[in-house]
Homo-oligomer: A and B are copies of this chain.
Amino acid sequence: MNSRPIGVFDSGLGGLTVVRELAAAMPGEDILYLGDTARVPYGIKSPLTIQTFARQDSAFLLRHGPKMLVVACNTASAAAIDMLRASSPVEVIDVIQPSAEAAVRATQGGIGVIATEATIASGAYQRSIAALAPGREVMAVACPLLVPLVEEGRDDDNPILFHVLYDYLGGLQRFRPGVLVLGCTHYPLLSEPIRKVMGPDVVLISSGQAAAMEVQRRLRESALANPRPAGGTLRCFTTDNPERFAKLGERFGQRKIDHVELVGTDELEKGPVS
């Protein structure tokens, strides 16, 4: 069981920022990654549709026998985590609860959250933080243009990028949080410009780091960690365009991605959880 892979899924490429943190923290673990690029983005869609897609993504990964599932997508974590946990034979780690815990630990002050429309509308971050630190001030802001901006690959000093960031983050600048949670796996690619806009005193928390620590802790507690100190592999599946996945994926994952396997969405829709 210890040598089985960790299964990770995301609506697209963003989850590779989580994979990067997992591999950095646990270099001996094998990772299976599914990016549902045919149906990306999830963040503008309804809870019902996100739940359907998340169930199919999980079922696909479960057919490959992982020892743990990681929902690397904030939107899917917000809409579907309870449903996924109820039906999964292995433990399911989300990105929201670990990020909320890291945020509460990192500051006594207010907490800012930026994420997709669907994640913010779900109230999942607000609820997680309220449960951990009742009465803590939270400001949550939906930033729909940031995902397409990251995918366009504009430079860190691009003026459009700064106009958009000042537009979305104006209220958060005035709120002066101790911590800003980057509640979408695309946003770590904007860490530098976000830091410039928010100033050096605001701690940025990325879902990937927080989730990787949680995965490591849970694998140790359940004695499922791979004893190898290194040599973990990454096997990638995508529902659209393996070439684009490999090319853009290197920017998100900061590693070479050699081989990406195409999976049709019809294949995702066909099978029950094994």
Question: A residues touching B (Cβ–Cβ < 8 Å)?
Answer: 37-40, 44-46, 48-49, 52, 144-145, 147-149, 151-152, 159-160, 163-164, 167, 239-241, 244, 264-266, 269
Contact = CB atoms under 8 A, between A and B. Distances in A.
Contacts of A49: 38, 239-241
Contacts of A240: 45-46, 48-49
Number of copies: 2
Contacts of A44: 40, 151
User: Which 3 A-B residue pairs are closest in the complex by CB-CB distance?
Assistant: A46-B241, A49-B240, A38-B49
Contact of A145 (B46, B152, B265): B152
A252 to B, nearest CB: 15
Main SS of chain A's interface residues? helix
A73 to B, nearest CB: 16
25 contacts: A37-B45, A38-B39, A38-B49, A39-B39, A45-B241, A46-B241, A49-B239, A49-B240, A49-B241, A52-B264, A52-B265, A144-B148, A144-B151, A144-B152, A145-B145, A145-B148, A145-B149, A145-B152, A145-B160, A159-B167, A160-B164, A160-B167, A163-B163, A266-B269, A269-B269
Nearest to A240: B49
Contact of A38 (B37, B45, B144): B45
A264 B147 CA distance: 26
Contacts of A45: 37-38, 240-241
Given A38-B49, A46-B240, 9 more contacts: A38-B39, A40-B44, A45-B240, A46-B244, A48-B240, A48-B241, A52-B264, A160-B167, A265-B269
A261 to B, nearest CB: 14
Contacts of A265: 52, 265, 269
A38 B269 CA distance: 14
